[in-house]
Amino acid sequence: MFRIKKVLNVNVVLAEQNGDEYIAFGKGIGYHQKVGVAIPDTAVFKKFMPLDDSRKSEMIQSLNRIPAVYISMTSQIVTYAEEKLQAFLLPSIYYALTDHLHFSVQRYHAQQALGNRIYWEMKTYYPDIFAIGEYGLTVVRDMLDVTLPKEEAANIAFHIINASPAATARANVLEVTQLVDNVLQAIRVLTGGTIATTSLNYERFVTHMKFFAERYLSNTMLEDDGQLLVNVYSLYPEAAKIALKVEKTITAIYNKPPTKEELAYLIIHIHRVLIG
């Protein structure tokens, strides 16, 4: 059972449960309610405990000024995302995405388009989640009659990724996409732009690089297997030359070399890309 401490919105209240304070989300739970009123657990579909009091104060002020329709849009997008991903998102998504959508629509009305520098990367490396972002744009259009820029799909996708259960165990998605993009740009330059970016092998290479970037940035790289590197170096000398230059690029930017086994798999995937 929750007890209301403050009504923030038609669908959001500050509530206490077992001595802890939560920002609680639920359809209509704040409608015509008063402080001290008890609401059943079943009425709350998400509860979120901010990390500290200053963060809680910021959220309360923000949710106080955001119209209820934005909570409804977020709920619809999150429900859709959880169905597609077959996983529950972290409760923090309800505040983060609601606040973002409100800000995006404000920018739209003020004709202040900010764009998104990782639009292409998000669309390419996370197509399933990017599609959820595109769905989010249709929700905004249907509920507010506002057509946000296509780049906003990447922003919504970014919030979905960061709210996924594995987000805290994973490297930051922005860092991952930037690392992958650095490698792909290096590959394009080193091959003279001759590789087929529409091939299945290239798609596999992009997927491999995404997971490599996550391991690399979270310091969980594959073990240092020198023998595997020796073997693939002799098998694929052309790919090995390119991979060694990519390795130097990564090390120069991030001041940390990939392990020998990671380099070996990089050679294998570059070889596959070279042969189409």
pLDDT in tens, 206-262: 888 988 998 898 888 887 777 888 888 999 999 999 999 999 999 999 999 999 989
Does residue 115 carry a pLDDT above 80? no
Whether 167-275 and 66-165 are alike in CATH topology: the answer is yes
Q: The domain 167-275: what is its CATH number?
A: 1.10.1790.10
pLDDT in tens, 159-170: 898 788 765 545
Task: Tell me the whole-structure pTM to 2 decimals.
Answer: 0.62
pLDDT in tens, 74-89: 989 999 999 999 988 8
Q: What average pLDDT does the segment 165-177 reach?
A: 68
| 3-state secondary structure labels for all residues of the chain | CEEEEEEEECCEEEEEECCEEEEEECCCCCCCCCCCCEECHHHCCEEECCCCHHHHHHHHHHHHHCCHHHHHHHHHHHHHHHHHHCCCCCCHHHHHHHHHHHHHHHHHHCCCCCCCCCHHHHHHHCHHHHHHHHHHHHHHHHHHCCCCCCCHHHHHHHHHHHCCCCHHHCCCHHHHHHHHHHHHHHHHHHCCCCCCCCCHHHHHHHHHHHHHHHHHHCCCCCCCCHHHHHHHHHHCHHHHHHHHHHHHHHHHHHCCCCCHHHHHHHHHHHHHHHCC
Q: What pLDDT score was predicted for residue 18? A: 81
Domain ranges of the chain: 1-51, 66-165, 167-275
Average pLDDT, the chain: 85
Q: What percent of the chain has pLDDT over 70?
A: 92
Let me know if domain 66-165 sits in CATH 1.10.1790.10: yes
Q: What fold is seen in the domain 1-51?
A: Transcription Regulation, Sacy; Chain A (2.30.24)
